Amino acid sequence: MQIEMKMKSLFVIVLIGTVWTGCAGVSGYYNVDAYNSSGELLTKNVRFTADGSSIYTTVNGMCAAYPKSVVIVRDTKTGEQLKGVSPHQCR
Protein backbone atom coordinates (compact mmCIF):
# COMPACT_ATOMS: atom_id res chain seq x y z
CA MET A 1 0.00 0.00 0.00
CA GLN A 2 2.82 2.41 0.87
CA ILE A 3 4.58 1.65 -2.43
CA GLU A 4 1.40 2.50 -4.34
CA MET A 5 1.26 5.90 -2.63
CA LYS A 6 4.91 6.56 -3.47
CA MET A 7 4.33 5.63 -7.09
CA LYS A 8 1.25 7.86 -7.30
CA SER A 9 3.16 10.74 -5.73
CA LEU A 10 6.07 10.23 -8.09
CA PHE A 11 3.73 10.15 -11.09
CA VAL A 12 2.11 13.45 -10.05
CA ILE A 13 5.50 15.11 -9.50
CA VAL A 14 6.76 13.96 -12.89
CA LEU A 15 3.55 15.01 -14.63
CA ILE A 16 3.57 18.50 -13.11
CA GLY A 17 7.27 18.92 -13.80
CA THR A 18 6.87 17.85 -17.40
CA VAL A 19 4.17 20.44 -17.95
CA TRP A 20 5.98 23.28 -16.13
CA THR A 21 9.61 22.81 -17.11
CA GLY A 22 11.25 24.78 -19.82
CA CYS A 23 14.29 23.97 -21.90
CA ALA A 24 17.37 23.45 -19.73
CA GLY A 25 19.75 22.46 -22.50
CA VAL A 26 19.31 18.70 -22.17
CA SER A 27 17.80 16.80 -25.05
CA GLY A 28 17.13 13.16 -25.78
CA TYR A 29 15.41 10.34 -23.96
CA TYR A 30 16.71 8.82 -20.75
CA ASN A 31 15.84 5.88 -18.50
CA VAL A 32 15.80 6.84 -14.83
CA ASP A 33 16.24 4.21 -12.11
CA ALA A 34 16.66 4.32 -8.33
CA TYR A 35 18.92 1.94 -6.39
CA ASN A 36 19.31 1.38 -2.66
CA SER A 37 22.67 1.42 -0.85
CA SER A 38 23.13 -2.29 -1.61
CA GLY A 39 22.77 -1.67 -5.34
CA GLU A 40 19.30 -3.25 -5.53
CA LEU A 41 16.97 -1.72 -8.13
CA LEU A 42 14.03 -0.08 -6.34
CA THR A 43 12.01 0.60 -9.50
CA LYS A 44 11.80 -3.03 -10.66
CA ASN A 45 8.17 -3.04 -11.71
CA VAL A 46 8.15 0.35 -13.44
CA ARG A 47 10.20 1.89 -16.24
CA PHE A 48 10.66 5.67 -16.03
CA THR A 49 11.69 7.49 -19.17
CA ALA A 50 12.31 11.23 -19.23
CA ASP A 51 13.07 13.59 -22.05
CA GLY A 52 14.83 16.93 -22.15
CA SER A 53 14.58 19.09 -19.06
CA SER A 54 12.01 16.80 -17.42
CA ILE A 55 15.01 14.69 -16.36
CA TYR A 56 15.61 16.99 -13.40
CA THR A 57 12.01 16.75 -12.25
CA THR A 58 12.07 12.97 -12.61
CA VAL A 59 15.27 12.72 -10.56
CA ASN A 60 13.74 14.93 -7.85
CA GLY A 61 10.59 12.81 -7.90
CA MET A 62 12.64 9.65 -7.49
CA CYS A 63 14.40 11.19 -4.49
CA ALA A 64 11.04 12.12 -2.96
CA ALA A 65 9.75 8.58 -3.43
CA TYR A 66 13.01 6.82 -2.50
CA PRO A 67 14.99 8.93 0.00
CA LYS A 68 18.70 8.06 0.35
CA SER A 69 18.66 6.17 -2.95
CA VAL A 70 21.08 6.62 -5.82
CA VAL A 71 19.38 7.70 -9.06
CA ILE A 72 20.97 6.65 -12.34
CA VAL A 73 20.05 8.41 -15.61
CA ARG A 74 21.03 6.57 -18.80
CA ASP A 75 20.59 7.50 -22.44
CA THR A 76 18.00 5.14 -23.96
CA LYS A 77 20.05 4.69 -27.15
CA THR A 78 23.62 4.45 -25.89
CA GLY A 79 23.13 3.29 -22.29
CA GLU A 80 25.63 5.92 -21.13
CA GLN A 81 24.98 7.88 -17.95
CA LEU A 82 24.10 11.55 -18.31
CA LYS A 83 27.18 13.41 -17.10
CA GLY A 84 26.54 16.05 -14.47
CA VAL A 85 23.27 14.42 -13.46
CA SER A 86 24.05 10.76 -12.93
CA PRO A 87 24.72 9.22 -10.52
CA HIS A 88 22.70 11.36 -8.12
CA GLN A 89 22.72 10.65 -4.38
CA CYS A 90 19.36 11.51 -2.81
CA ARG A 91 19.28 13.06 0.66
Helix (H, G, I), strand (E, B) or coil at 13: helix
Q: Starting at the edge strand that comes first in sequence, how are the strands of the sheet with 48-51 ordered? A: 48-51, 29-35, 70-75, 88-89
pLDDT score at 68: 94
DSSP 8-class letter at 41: B
34: buried, middle or exposed (CB in 10 Å: 19+, 13-18, 0-12)? buried
What is the predicted pLDDT for the residue at 23?
42
Q: Which residues of the chain have pLDDT under 50?
A: 19-24
Sign of CA dihedral 43, 39, 64, 16: negative
Look up the domain containing 30 and give its range: 2-89
SS3 assignment, position 73:
strand
Task: Give me the number of domains the chain comprises.
Answer: 1
